[in-house]
Structure 1
């Protein structure tokens, strides 16, 4: 009986709280929960771009950028011209870091050996480095008579297609300056030839101003 009275008292105490509750209404806008998939969003955006013609323009711009970068790669930084010629020598000798053997197991190089590739395989060609945007260097190249039957023209700057038409030969480009850095070339235009077991690099003098 005592427990029943305690329960009744607790219920009476709670009734005013329940009776005093009010409907506060809706605060702010309420929207149904909708989640658009990323694929649907992309497809919708593509349709919009196609309808407005933006897609065709984007494709055209991308194509032009690819062509431009292909025909005119980023120039090699840090190269100079000078009114005086410069000569330097490149020795490709290196130290073998481990033993090397052919497919039959015959060791042809041991760790610590000093090897010069030019003693085994010659360069066999002349290399020309120049900036094709510099008319002086283009004129210099046109006047060259390669001392070897084979030669390569390697640009450090300029338009490959234009240089091909100007020099009437196949054109290469020193991407990221990998060759000029390895050979230690600082001045252009430069011509590289083999003499003995070294490479001789001579930069030609250029008159000041382009």
Structure 2
């Protein structure tokens, strides 16, 4: 496994490509906005609220449908003036599910919709099941369009399957349960019929649980007051720990971030690195930022970092090795406001990743190495040290 230090370094490399307003993605920003959010969380937070569950469900649905879409391209046939959704479940006979798949494969505006995954299964198991249904000659026929969409069941009022829903301009025109063939329903729509039509045949209970309801149940079991206290206490403990010593000499050092791969790294069946390889991340990814590690309780270092930021030609991340005041979080929020940017808290694993030994230290990449400019605080006080002047 890659060491924690390397993981921290790779995380910072990823952060280099993020937006200017972002800092280290692996360290929560303890700025004023974060402090306000923490204080805004109330013990009376209603866990039955659907908002968080809805967001999670929407994210999951987008991920699932994006992956399924990779293997179910749309049919190039002429589109109809209606769109059709055939709501199904694995509780149905396999023959009926296959009929629904056949319609979704041959009609460009027809989609088969599942409410979720069977209990105890995951997306990979679902995709294997789809492959088994398709059979060995699946590549010879157009694939069906399949979605996992819990909110669609709710918005269409589907409580049993199969159910065919005909939509126009994303509005439900008509629906009927007990069938998978949408032709009859479309014909009824053409005749002016609307709403819920009489049940056409036998129906089945939906085997897959509704993801939103599952999330609501989980949220209802959360002790939000306890969670809030643990988060705040954890942050306070993190910022209260002393860490790096002050630099005793002003100098420039160099750090090689190379590491030895301890096991093969494989992605999408391609070997990215083999066990025993010596890998330097800077050979593969540009580190487009500067890191200033300071003791923000030292007025000399805090004043110096303001000047360094004003002269920086790239994105800057500020990390403090100490915090002050009776309330460390409030103190840190005040300093971040004064600096005009988030201040992150030192983590020991950054020492190995970047070779940082003391504060204040300015880190930037030059070639395939990190350059570390260390400054004795007394030199900052007399004002004859400038990190840009040491280039």
Q: 2:376 aligns with which of 198, 205, 209?
A: 205
Change in 2 beyond 3 A, CA 1:205/1:142: same
Equivalent residues in 2 for 1:8-23, closer than 5 Å: none
Q: Give 1:140 deviation, angstroms.
A: 0.6
> Aligned with 2:378: secondary structure?
coil
Q: 2:357 aligns with which of 183, 186, 207?
A: 186
Q: Give 1:148 deviation, angstroms.
A: 3.6
Contact 2:292 2:363 in 1 (8 A): yes
Greater relative contact order (Cα < 8 A, sep 6+): 1
When Rg is computed on C-alpha atoms for both structures, the one with the higher figure is 1
Q: Give 1:109 deviation, angstroms.
A: 1.4
Q: Would you identify which runs of 4 or more consecutive aligned residues in structure 1 move more than 4 Å?
A: 65-69
Contact 1:126 1:146 in 2 (8 A): no
Tell me the distance in 2 between the aligned counterparts of 1:123 and 1:70: 28
Specify every segment of 5 or more residues in structure 1 that has no aligned partner in the other structure, as ranges.
1-58
Q: Does 2:285 correspond to 1:137?
A: no
Tell me the distance in 2 between the aligned counterparts of 1:193 and 1:209: 19
Tell me the distance in 2 between the aligned counterparts of 1:208 and 1:149: 25
| Counterpart in the other structure of 2:256 | 91
Specify every segment of 5 or more residues in structure 2 that has no aligned partner in the other structure, as ranges.
1-224, 324-330, 382-391
| Counterpart in the other structure of 1:166 | 338
Tell me the distance in 2 between the aligned counterparts of 1:126 and 1:150: 6
Tell me the distance in 1 between the aligned counterparts of 2:312 and 2:244: 28
> Aligned with 1:73: secondary structure?
helix
> Aligned with 2:246: secondary structure?
coil
Tell me the distance in 1 between the aligned counterparts of 2:311 and 2:380: 26
Q: Give 1:87 deviation, angstroms.
A: 1.8
Q: Give deviations 1:95-145, integer Å, cap 9, x for gaps.
A: 122222221x12221122111111101111000001111101101111114
TM-score between both structures, scaled by the size of structure 2:
0.34
| Counterpart in the other structure of 1:81 | 247
